[in-house]
Structure 1
Amino acid sequence: MTCPRCGREQPPGGSGRFCVHCGRVLGGVRWVATTPEATRPRTSAPRRAPYAGPPRYRSIPRWSLWPWAARPEPGDPDGPLAPPPPPAPDDALRATADLLRRLAVTTALLCGVAALGEALRYVLLLVSRDRALSGVLLGWSDAIVGLFGLLAPAAALATGVVFLRWLLRAREIAAEASGTRPWRSARMLLVGCVLPPLTLTVPGATLAEIEHAASGRPADVRPFPSRPVLAWWAAWVVGVVLGLVTVVQGFADSTQALADGVVLHFWSDVVAAVVAWLTIRVTAHLTELLAPVLRASGRSYVVPRATVDAG
């Protein structure tokens, strides 16, 4: 055998694996270094399925975790705590009346500012008959009238929606307290509150019926409205009639018609502010009749005589 490094012949009887001259490993012997993982059989990695979204159930799962507040105590015979009772109708009516009060106050303020803007515009019309107007003052007048001419109707619309909601709840509570059934259906009431000329009579008559039932008067006696209801009813009728006249007047395009339109818009805003203020009064009056609870600012506590004597 010849050494691949030095090229010399190996003598007979040599080591056989190494060259006797240079010590190199002779041909036919090969050392291979392998890792432990290389000796294991290779297997194909499992293929991950694509994400298919959250789990889906054919029906509502019946398993769940106990809420901490409702977790039964060990040895408690009553089991989990009972859920809280639903809010009373009186509380819901008071919450609606409170929201209505805030919206009515906002509507009254916006209508008041809109009325001031219309008054300023009318004064500018009078001044402009014999002199030129300031562009800055005229711009402020147009800005006030335009801005509050949009905000005031939007606030009035929101107030009207909440008022109808309060009216429906108050009518149900009054009918249940008196043991009667409302003469008008809910649909008829809603149509009568928004469609002229029914809107002149239906809202006021409904308030009078609620007051009559909440006062405990006989059902066969004709309702006689109180002063808050009559005041609201009269202001409401004036506001509806004045609003219709203002809308009709807006179709005219003469100079005098434009001046008359400014005056009509002024009085419409004033009456709308008055109606919003009277709405607060009449809803507070009827809410107190329907939900007679102690006010938070004027509570009084009565101690029974037997308790005092025993102490």
Structure 2
Amino acid sequence: MSASAPAAGQRNFKWVARRPRTKSPRRVQPSAPRRTATPKYDEIPRWGLIDRPRAVAQDSESRLVRWAGSASGLLLLVAALLGLAAVAEFVRYGVLLYNRTRLVSRTTLAASDALVLFAQVASVVIGVAAAVASVCWLVDRRRLMFERAGLRDPRSARSIFVGSLVPFLTLALPGVFLTELVDVRGRADRDRLRILVRVWWTAWVANWAFVLAASLWRLRDSLQAQADGVLLSAVVALIAAAVALLTIHLMRRVDGLGWRGGRRASPTRWVVAIPGSTSGPALVPRETKAGETGEPEAGKAEVREDGMAAIEAPESEDQPLKVAAS
């Protein structure tokens, strides 16, 4: 305070506040965000986030479907190669018979051995691929038929592959898998398909029995046993080719296709009509058995007292009707 102070009640100084000195860095206060107006668009925005599904499962399913689609072609190729192997074995057996009284040139013997080796190796390699493709077809058809029935396949794809491809298990489980497929598929031809599955199952087991017999026969070292082994190998190749063709036939029957892969022709559907009547077809109740009703079954023939009859109809109801009148 200065010496020349003003009168009492007056001040000639002022307080000045200063920030204390410190070594800590200066803190910057964050600025408040700027307020902007809500964005407006003249039309619906075409941008956005794309939720892409995982492609791994789709790739595995599409791979399985591709293998399933190639099963018939691979089996047909295997049947052709096995037929070639049978022909090659018969040619070798003929060369052995010819060699009993005459000499055989090295060129003929080398050509015969090369044909047998090529046919056997090719049939084994393509046969493995055909077996895998056939199991893929079985997995795909089981899943499809169970979905149509509103159910879920109780067997996983891994268990079907193991039961169909592992030795010894492959003798029993494929027939079980096919029987379950036919049962869940239903339709009017279920009984016939069951019989076809049993025939295929028997042929499948017999084929492996012949393969085992031919393998054991080759352990014998006599000349006659070796010659008989060549003939037995030809028979085994023919049986395996027949099993491959039977497998193709079974697959196409399950898919509702003919032998050549086309749709099977449906039988003609006949219904009873009275001449001059506009009330439509009429059916007469059939004779009933214990536990059955007197209503006529759909698709079955019904005979009237006046001699008119309805012949068995196809399964689908969307096909045109053919009316017969006496």
Is the aligned partner of 1:213 residue 2:184?
yes
User: Unaligned regions of 5+ residues in structure 1, if any?
Assistant: 1-73, 303-311
* Residues 239, 272 of structure 1: 8 Å contact kept: yes
* Residues 78, 244 of structure 2: 8 Å contact kept: yes
In the TM superposition, 1:179-218 aligns within 5 A as 179-180=150-151, 182=153, 184-215=155-186
Higher-helix-fraction structure: 1
Match of 1:244 in 2: 212
* Residues 178, 216 of structure 1: 8 Å contact kept: no
Match of 2:77 in 1: 106
CA distance in 2, matches of 1:231, 1:197: 19
Once structures 1 and 2 are overlaid, which stretch shifts more, 271-280 or 151-160? Answer: 271-280
Could you tell me how far 1:104 is from its partner in structure 2?
1.1
Could you tell me how far 1:75 is from its partner in structure 2?
3.7
- The residue identity in structure 2 corresponding to 1:238 is A
Q: Which residue of 218, 221, 245 maps to 1:253?
A: 221
Could you tell me how far 1:157 is from its partner in structure 2?
0.6
Match of 2:122 in 1: 151
Please, what is the CA RMSD of the aligned residues? 4.0
* Residues 69, 137 of structure 2: 8 Å contact kept: no
Match of 2:239 in 1: 271
Could you tell me how far 1:273 is from its partner in structure 2?
1.2
- The residue identity in structure 2 corresponding to 1:157 is V
Is the aligned partner of 1:231 residue 2:202?
no
CA distance in 2, matches of 1:166, 1:238: 23
Could you tell me how far 1:216 is from its partner in structure 2?
5.8
Question: 1:209-236 CA deviation, whole Å, 9 max, x = no partner?
Answer: 101101169xxxx988434323322221
CA distance in 2, matches of 1:150, 1:125: 22
- The residue identity in structure 2 corresponding to 1:174 is M
Return the structure number with greater relative CO, CA threshold 8 A, min gap 6.
Answer: 1
Match of 1:283 in 2: 251
CA 1:260–1:145: 2 relative to 1, 3 Å: same
CA distance in 2, matches of 1:283, 1:166: 8
Match of 1:170 in 2: 141
CA distance in 2, matches of 1:229, 1:193: 15
User: Secondary structure, in 3 states, of the residue corresponding to 2:256?
Assistant: helix
- The residue identity in structure 2 corresponding to 1:117 is A
CA distance in 2, matches of 1:75, 1:131: 94
* Residues 107, 152 of structure 1: 8 Å contact kept: yes
User: Secondary structure, in 3 states, of the residue corresponding to 1:226?
Assistant: helix
CA 1:129–1:183: 2 relative to 1, 3 Å: farther
CA 1:231–1:175: 2 relative to 1, 3 Å: same
CA distance in 1, matches of 2:217, 2:65: 40
- The residue identity in structure 2 corresponding to 1:173 is L
CA 1:254–1:181: 2 relative to 1, 3 Å: farther
CA distance in 1, matches of 2:44, 2:201: 59
In the TM superposition, 1:35-114 aligns within 5 A as 75=43, 95-114=66-85
Question: 1:166-221 CA deviation, whole Å, 9 max, x = no partner?
Answer: 1122222233333445555544433332344332221122112101101169xxxx
- The residue identity in structure 1 corresponding to 2:109 is L
- The residue identity in structure 2 corresponding to 1:280 is I
Once structures 1 and 2 are overlaid, which stretch shifts more, 139-148 or 167-176? Answer: 167-176
CA 1:83–1:96: 2 relative to 1, 3 Å: farther
Question: 1:228-273 CA deviation, whole Å, 9 max, x = no partner?
Answer: 3233222211211111222222333222221222122111211221
CA distance in 1, matches of 2:213, 2:166: 15
Aligned residues: 216
CA distance in 2, matches of 1:197, 1:223: 27
* Residues 114, 145 of structure 1: 8 Å contact kept: yes
Once structures 1 and 2 are overlaid, which stretch shifts more, 189-198 or 134-143? Answer: 189-198
CA distance in 2, matches of 1:149, 1:199: 21
- The residue identity in structure 1 corresponding to 2:244 is A
Q: Normalised by the size of structure 2, how large is the TM-score?
A: 0.56
User: Secondary structure, in 3 states, of the residue corresponding to 1:102?
Assistant: helix
* Residues 85, 237 of structure 2: 8 Å contact kept: yes
In the TM superposition, 1:293-308 aligns within 5 A as none
